[in-house]
Amino acid sequence: MSSAVVMQDVSFGYEARSPIIQIKDLQIEKGKRVFLHGSSGSGKSTLLGLISGVLLPQQGTCEVLGKELTQLSLSARDRHRGSEMGYIFQSFNLIPYLTVKENIGLPCRVHAKRRKRITAPNLDEEVERIARRLDIHDFLDRGVTRLSTGQQQRVAIARAVIGSPRLVIADEPTSALDTDRQERFLQLLLEVCDEARATLIFVSHDRSLMAHFDERISLADINQASASTSASQVRV
């Protein structure tokens, strides 16, 4: 099984409204770095919600890392996501009342599978190792609200990759940054995903970042719910 994501005949709409996502066939191979782009409101975050199992399609199948999400209970989907996926949000969603160290270590405290995959002898040392790698080790005991935006981003990367999730999903994490900082952030993210051998799905509307990726997907090309697109089949 070499696919990280296999979506077939998927249809999804919020509440009873008309579908926002209609995808006939989307496959993402394990280990690929995928750039997903599309205009604002086109459904990128919605598609990520379906891949991570936060949302369930009304029709079709969505197999992610060998599990058919539509067959799993809510708690099994939450477990699958927490154990196997790292998520980086546009606004980072760090826990404001926890320190840098506590934020980074959180996925391993909540999910035994992530904890078992750490390479250091214990969690504290693993947090320290990753923090060093991302150059945020000097303020491990500081509250995350007392960090610069760039530092918070690196904490978000560390939290997403600790415990080697098999899939890392980043939803427009660079949109608030200038070009130089975007490039640096992306470079670091790509490096740590390579080290963890994780598949990366990176969402942005900024096409200047495309060149760094193995595959590029235009949501408009694969989503039949969007206006005037042709039916398509995408394998990456």
Ligand X SMILES: Nc1ncnc2c1ncn2[C@@H]1O[C@H](COP(=O)(O)OP(=O)(O)OP(=O)(O)O)[C@@H](O)[C@H]1O
Shortest Cβ 150–ligand X spacing (Å): 21
- Interface mask toward ligand X for 174-213; x: CB under 6 A: -------------------------------x--------
Shortest Cβ 206–Mg ion spacing (Å): 13
Shortest Cβ 205–Mg ion spacing (Å): 9
Q: Decide: 95 and 152 in contact? Cβ < 8 Å.
A: no
Q: Which stretch binds ligand X (CB under 6 A): 44-52, 79-87, 136-144, 190-198?
A: 44-52
Closer CB to Mg ion, 134 or 203, in the complex: 203
State which of residues 45, 70, 229, 232 lies at the interface with ligand X (CB under 6 A): 45
Shortest Cβ 156–Mg ion spacing (Å): 16
Q: Decide: 108 and 114 in contact? Cβ < 8 Å.
A: yes
**C-beta pairs of 95-99 under 8 Å, 24+ apart in sequence:** 95/144, 96/143, 96/144, 96/145, 97/143, 98/143, 98/144, 99/140, 99/141, 99/142, 99/143, 99/144
Shortest Cβ 141–ligand X spacing (Å): 34
Q: Decide: 161 and 130 in contact? Cβ < 8 Å.
A: yes
**Total residues in contact with ligand X, by rule CB under 6 A:** 11
Which one of Mg ion, ligand X, none is in contact with 121 (Cβ closer than 5 to 8 A by kind)?
none
Look at phi and psi of residue 65 and say left if phi exceeds 0, alpha if psi is from -120 to 50, else beta: left
**Distance in angstroms (rounded) separating the CA atoms of residues 160 and 167:** 9
3-state secondary structure of 54: coil
Closer CB to ligand X, 98 or 234, in the complex: 234
- Cα Rg for the chain, rounded, in angstroms? 18
Q: Decide: 168 and 193 in contact? Cβ < 8 Å.
A: yes
- Interface mask toward Mg ion for 3-42; x: CB under 5 A: ----------------------------------------
> For residue 168, what are the β-bridge partners?
86, 200
Which one of ligand X, Mg ion, none is in contact with 46 (Cβ closer than 5 to 8 A by kind)?
ligand X
Is 45 an interacting residue with respect to Mg ion (CB under 5 A)? yes
CA distances from 71 to 61, 77, 142, 151 (A): 9, 9, 41, 39
Which one of ligand X, Mg ion, none is in contact with 38 (Cβ closer than 5 to 8 A by kind)?
ligand X
Which chain residues interact with Mg ion by CB under 5 A? 44-45
